[in-house]
């Protein structure tokens, strides 16, 4: 009898779990959502930008809503979700992702999705999208893990970053080819945030950021990847990249910086030395750097024995002169080239013996 009851109990659990899965995977009829639709796979443009064609990373396999190819000024996104909310049961309102793609939407109002929730918000090729109400997503702010934009007209940095701060469980931010000109002070305060993209190093996408505020990433202890490519960035503030706490993991922090207005004098003292003894891989690409200032980049390399600088071939104006001789003096390792912690440095074979420097005078 006990054995039979156990079987019935486990069978009931299986049926209940199947019912729950059905609820979370089953799409409502498209007639309710028109001109939008509910689908089970959505491509993430972030991974597509990096030529990552692994289906497990670029597709989300849960029920999601897509509104795409809508060129209609009377299109009312909020009304669609009001209608959907009235149709769904209370336990059917959780979706995985929302994608707004290639539409003429200009404004997202307060509580735009009614009581519908999403984990990922993606806005791509909405070139007229100019404003998002600061309370557009407040209802489900604790659910959002991913926020992505590509080719929009969004320019109000204060509002956008106020929205991002609401997302307590944010894991990934990816914003490309918008019109944001600044990253404010204390921009991020997310424990789970690991990846931030503002443009890519290939120059296919950028963000016209002019300033990065003080302590912008101070409260992001588990940040692993930060990419900023801006044609307008000229200066890095002293505390822009400062970290408050050591990472809870031993993973290296990757920072990729690019932009033709970045110069050798764009980095003030200690601006690259406030990583709380964390290993950092710093890649500089498509810049106007002509040398690496010893008082800036040597302390950076000394903050952690595994920290690395990459000045690859895209830094076309880099010169092999005495201002960079310190790299050869301090970091040339003949035994194993991989131990030379300045990747892409094109001057290893140059004879700097005639250079006058502090290092040489000591020698």
Query: How much is the pLDDT for 334?
Result: 63
> Residue 59 forms beta bridges with which residues?
43
What is the β-pairing status of strands 64-70 and 37-39? antiparallel
Q: What is the pLDDT of residues 7-52, one digit of tens each?
A: 444 434 433 443 344 344 588 888 889 999 998 877 666 666 655 5
Q: What is the pLDDT of residues 182-218, one digit of tens each?
A: 999 999 999 999 999 999 876 578 999 999 999 999 9
**Percentage above 90 pLDDT, the chain:** 66
Work out the number of other CB atoms within 10 angstroms of the CB of residue 17: 10
Counting Cα atoms < 13 Å in the Cβ hemisphere of 358 gives 7
**Percentage above 70 pLDDT, the chain:** 82
Angle (nearest 5°) at CA 162 between 218 and 166: 85
Q: How far apart are CA 229 and CA 43, in angstroms?
A: 23
Kindly state the average pLDDT of the residues 81-110: 93
Q: How far apart are CA 215 and CA 217, in angstroms?
A: 5
> Residue 253 forms beta bridges with which residues?
280
Does the pLDDT at position 247 exceed 70? Answer: no
pLDDT-derived band at 338, boundaries 50, 70, 90: low
* Contact by Cβ (8 Å): 158, 181: no
pTM for the model: 0.86
């Amino acid at each position: 009898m006990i054995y039979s009851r156990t079987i019935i109990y486990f069978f009931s659990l299986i049926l209940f779990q199947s019912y729950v899965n059905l609820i979370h995977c089953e799409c409502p009829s498209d007639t309710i959502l028109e001109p939008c639709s509910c689908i089970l796979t959505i491509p993430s443009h972030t991974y597509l930008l990096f030529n990552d064609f692994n289906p497990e990373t670029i597709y989300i396999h849960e029920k999601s809503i897509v509104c795409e190819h809508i060129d209609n000024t009377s299109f009312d996104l909020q009304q669609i979700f009001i209608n959907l909310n009235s149709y769904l049961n209370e336990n059917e309102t959780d979706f995985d992702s929302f994608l707004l793609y290639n539409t003429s939407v200009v404004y997202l109002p307060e509580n735009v999705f009614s009581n519908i929730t999403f984990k990922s918000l993606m806005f791509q090729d909405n070139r007229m999208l100019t404003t998002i109400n600061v309370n557009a997503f407040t209802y489900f702010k604790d659910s959002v893990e991913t926020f992505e934009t590509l080719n929009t007209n969004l320019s109000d940095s204060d509002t956008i970053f106020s929205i991002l701060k609401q997302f307590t469980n944010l894991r990934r931010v990816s914003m490309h080819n918008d019109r944001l000109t600044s990253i404010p002070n204390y921009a991020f305060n997310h424990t789970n945030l690991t990846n931030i993209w503002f443009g890519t190093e290939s120059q296919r996408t950028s963000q016209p950021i002019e300033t990065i505020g003080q302590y912008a990433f101070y409260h992001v202890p588990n940040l692993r990847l930060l990419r900023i490519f801006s044609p307008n960035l000229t200066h890095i503030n002293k505390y822009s990249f400062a970290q408050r706490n050591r990472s809870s993991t031993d993973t290296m922090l990757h920072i990729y910086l690019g932009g033709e207005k970045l110069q050798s004098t764009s980095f003030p003292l200690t601006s690259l030395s406030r990583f709380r003894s964390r290993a950092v891989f710093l890649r500089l690409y498509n810049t106007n750097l002509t040398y690496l200032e010893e008082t800036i980049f040597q302390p950076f390399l000394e903050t952690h024995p595994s920290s690395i600088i990459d000045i690859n071939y895209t830094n076309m104006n880099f010169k092999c002169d005495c201002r960079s001789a310190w790299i050869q003096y301090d970091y040339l390792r003949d035994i194993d080239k991989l131990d030379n912690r300045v990747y892409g440095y094109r001057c290893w074979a140059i004879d700097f013996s005639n250079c006058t420097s502090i290092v040489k005078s000591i020698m």
